[in-house]
């Protein structure tokens, strides 16, 4: 089944890219693409994010009693990462593919910057959207450089520029010798292929990205690094991103908002902190896990607390960017009830107590410092 799904996705990827090839000859590229990148159909320049809205969207497959997606409504504000999460088969991929019309919706509407995706010419729509397939979907007969360069080539980029961009993106995803550019996808591991898929989706710096379990086949250490790199990049160039994952920890780390789905429907959409603090029902509480209190500590850093003075003595130490969970772990492993907070120059600027951290999780959590 997985194998079949992988092949099916690859065929969809082919169809989608063949469409680029066909449209390249008959499109006035200067209208929507420049040598600097692409524009989404709504006329925004590349790297300028646009809000996405689902309005009562449904997808029903013929002969299936239950809708794959039912009456889905939510908004992703411009420049935010919205994570879609939920059990296998709940409709995440279907929801994602309706945005760039790889799957036609049955009812409702999806808008980008207020404009229905159905009112936008399909190749133009897709040029402004980077898509990372759940099952990778790289072209097996094309080198890594050619895979990453697929859309840039259609946009008329020079060979030298494509090579430079491909190398830059490969470095970003933790690969990237000149040699890698000449290799074929089959010569890489599953996780490496997935990273090349992420690089390909980012090639022309699209303002919108749809990412279907982009880091799913990657080992935890590399995944952590990729997530950090991706978030760092996102802070610099804000895109509007819908990011699908199975992993609640990844959702909490990556999402400005998390949308939890079940049986094609939205159960709750909220910030990671609110979701962990106030799950809407038992399903969400189960999904986020019994350790949701500890997970909340990962959302905050020492910077979010008012510091007590540092009054000397041997304390475990951490920077202000350290998560409360890591600070707690440092205290517990050192047998201490206080952690020193270090400034830029490495000297202690204050301290935080175990009670202050525990108070964040109490029945009336202390609001984090602004
Ligand atoms: N072409 C199709 N024809 C009929 N039913 C389909 C088709 N594609 C998907 N479905 C059904 O739609 C539902 C949602 O599928 P979807 O792929 O969106 O799930 P998902 O949440 O992405 O799951 P996973 O986490 O396993 O990737 C599932 O019940 C699936 O069986
Ligand atoms: Mg899926």
**Are 11 and 50 members of one domain?**
yes
Return the residue whose CA atom lies nearest to atom 31 of ligand 1: 89
Domain count, the chain: 2
Q: Which residue has the tokens 């449904």?
A: 58
Tell me the pLDDT tens digit for each residue of 230-251.
888 888 888 999 999 989 999 9
> Would you write out the chain's pLDDT as a tens digit for each of its 370 residues?
333 344 344 444 444 444 433 333 322 212 333 333 333 333 334 446 799 999 999 999 999 989 999 999 999 999 999 999 999 999 999 999 999 999 999 999 999 999 999 999 998 898 889 888 877 778 999 999 999 998 899 888 999 999 999 999 998 888 877 789 999 999 998 888 888 988 898 888 888 999 999 888 788 888 888 888 888 888 888 899 999 998 999 999 999 999 999 999 999 999 999 999 899 999 999 999 888 888 889 888 999 999 999 988 889 999 999 999 999 999 999 999 999 999 989 899 999 999 999 888 876 544 554 4
Rounded CA-CA distance 3/8 in Å is 9
**Are 203 and 139 members of one domain?**
yes
Tell me if 293 is assigned to some domain: no
Rounded CA-CA distance 156/24 in Å is 10
Could you tell me which of 356, 349, 357 has the C-alpha nearest to residue 325? 357
Strand partners, 260: 85, 268
**Are 309 and 276 members of one domain?**
no
**Are 92 and 225 members of one domain?**
yes
**Are 217 and 344 members of one domain?**
no
Protein residues whose CB sits closer than 6 Å to any atom of ligand 1:
61, 64, 68, 88-94, 134
Ligand 1 centroid to Cα of residue 259, in Å, is 17
Return the residue whose CA atom lies nearest to atom 20 of ligand 1: 89
Could you tell me which of 62, 60, 58 has the C-alpha nearest to residue 70? 58
Asked whether 244 and 84 are in contact (CB, 8 A), the reply is: yes
Return the residue whose CA atom lies nearest to atom 26 of ligand 1: 88
State the closest ligand 1 atom to the C-alpha of 95, by its place in the atom list counted from 1: 18
What's the CATH number where 175 sits? 3.40.50.300
Strand partners, 69: 59
Q: How far is CA 252 from CA 161, 243, 257, in A?
A: 36, 12, 8
Tell me if 2 is assigned to some domain: no
- Which of 230, 261, 288 is the last residue before a domain boundary? 288
| Alpha helix ranges (H) inside the chain | 2-24, 29-32, 92-99, 122-127, 144-148, 150-154, 159-172, 178-182, 190-201, 220-236, 248-254, 272-277, 282-288, 292-299, 324-334, 354-360
**Are 265 and 318 members of one domain?**
no
Q: Tell me the whole-structure pTM to 2 decimals.
A: 0.80
Range(s) of the domain holding residue 355: 300-359
**Are 274 and 308 members of one domain?**
no
Rounded CA-CA distance 135/14 in Å is 13
**Are 26 and 95 members of one domain?**
yes
Check the CA dihedral 318-322-324-325 and report its sign: negative
- Locate 204 and state its tokens: 């022309």
Return the residue whose CA atom lies nearest to atom 24 of ligand 1: 88
Q: Residue 87 CA: which ligand is closest? A: 1
Tell me the pLDDT tens digit for each residue of 331-348.
999 999 999 999 989 899
**Are 54 and 135 members of one domain?**
yes
């Amino acid at each position: 089944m997985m194998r079949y799904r992988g092949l099916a996705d690859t065929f969809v990827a082919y169809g989608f890219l063949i469409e680029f090839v066909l449209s390249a000859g008959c499109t006035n590229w200067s209208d929507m693409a420049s040598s600097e990148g692409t524009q989404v159909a709504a006329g925004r320049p590349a790297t300028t994010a646009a809000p996405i809205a689902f309005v009562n969207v449904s997808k029903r497959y013929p002969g299936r009693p239950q809708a794959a997606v039912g009456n889905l409504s939510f908004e992703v504000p411009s420049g935010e990462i919205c994570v879609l999460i939920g059990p296998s088969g709940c409709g995440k991929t279907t929801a994602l593919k309706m945005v760039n019309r790889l799957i036609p919706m049955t009812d409702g509407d999806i808008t980008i910057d207020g404009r229905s995706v159905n009112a936008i010419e399909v190749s133009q729509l897709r040029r402004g959207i980077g898509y990372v397939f759940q099952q990778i979907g790289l072209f097996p007969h094309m080198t890594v450089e050619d895979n990453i360069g697929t859309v840039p080539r259609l946009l008329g980029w020079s060979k030298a520029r494509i090579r430079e961009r491909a190398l830059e993106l490969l470095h970003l995803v933790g690969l990237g010798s000149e040699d890698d550019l000449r290799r074929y996808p089959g010569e890489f591991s599953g996780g490496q292929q997935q990273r090349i898929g992420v690089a390909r989706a980012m090639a022309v710096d699209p303002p919108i990205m749809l990412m279907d379990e982009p880091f799913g086949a990657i080992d935890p250490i590399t995944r952590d690094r990729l997530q950090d790199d991706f978030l760092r990049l996102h802070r610099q160039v804000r895109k509007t991103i819908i990011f699908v994952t199975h992993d609640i920890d990844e959702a909490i780390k990556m999402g400005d908002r998390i949308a939890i789905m079940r049986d094609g429907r939205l159960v709750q959409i909220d910030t990671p902190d609110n979701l962990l603090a106030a799950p809407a029902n038992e399903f969400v509480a189960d999904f986020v896990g019994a350790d949701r209190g500890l997970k909340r500590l990962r959302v905050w850093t020492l910077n979010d607390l008012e510091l007590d003075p540092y009054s000397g003595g041997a304390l475990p130490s951490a920077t202000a960017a350290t998560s409360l969970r890591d600070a707690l772990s440092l205290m517990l492993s050192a047998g201490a009830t206080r952690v020193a907070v270090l400034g830029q120059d490495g000297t202690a600027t204050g301290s935080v107590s175990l009670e202050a951290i525990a108070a964040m999780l109490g029945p009336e959590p202390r609001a984090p410092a602004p």
